[in-house]
Amino acid sequence: MGSLGISSRLGTHPGPFSLFVAITIGADLRADGFGENPFYHCLVAESLPGPGESQAGPCVVGYGLYYFIYSTWKGRNVYLEDIYVKPEYQGQGIGSKIIKKVAEVALDKGCSQFRLSVLDWNKRAMDLYKALGAQDLTEAEGWHSFRFEGEVMRKLAGK
């Protein structure tokens, strides 16, 4: 295997990730992330072919999808909505590299916090986040996450 790289894919990008987006999700995700006013940004981890390997070009092995939020208590924040590394590439530090890059972006943008959520069954991810220094807000502060969606949102909005 060749080298692994993490790169930002901000704005329109004709490379492997935009192809991945087009195949798996469709026009909405592409427009929301790569349009004129993106709702999110994405970091892509790629495996680059090593010397003598026949791979045509970089291969996407993981990604981190994030966006900016605001806290009335802490100001600018970044929220890592989704992080994924292909199973055959897990355990090689790719997830950690993505998280570290999001932290770098957050600091560069003047953010005071970097937030993310994880499902309670994903102990491996929780262990990684804690090992990297994340604080579990459920344990520490008792925060609970809620959401409104679909029909409930329409009812709240009177639509």
Which candidate, 97, 84, 68, 81, places its Cα nearest to that of 5? 97
Which candidate, 5, 3, 10, 42, places its Cα nearest to that of 24? 42
Single out the catalytic residue among 63, 66, 79, 129: 129
129 tagged catalytic: yes
Chunked into runs of 10 residues, the chain (159 residues) has average pLDDT values of: 42 35 59 87 85 75 95 96 93 94 96 95 94 93 89 95
Per-residue model confidence (pLDDT) at position 15: 37
Domains of the chain listed by start with CATH number:
4-116 (3.40.630.30)
Per-residue model confidence (pLDDT) at position 118: 94
Q: Are 39 and 1 in contact (CB under 8 A)?
A: no
pLDDT tens string 121-132: 999 999 999 999
Percentage of the residues of the chain whose pLDDT score is greater than 90: 59
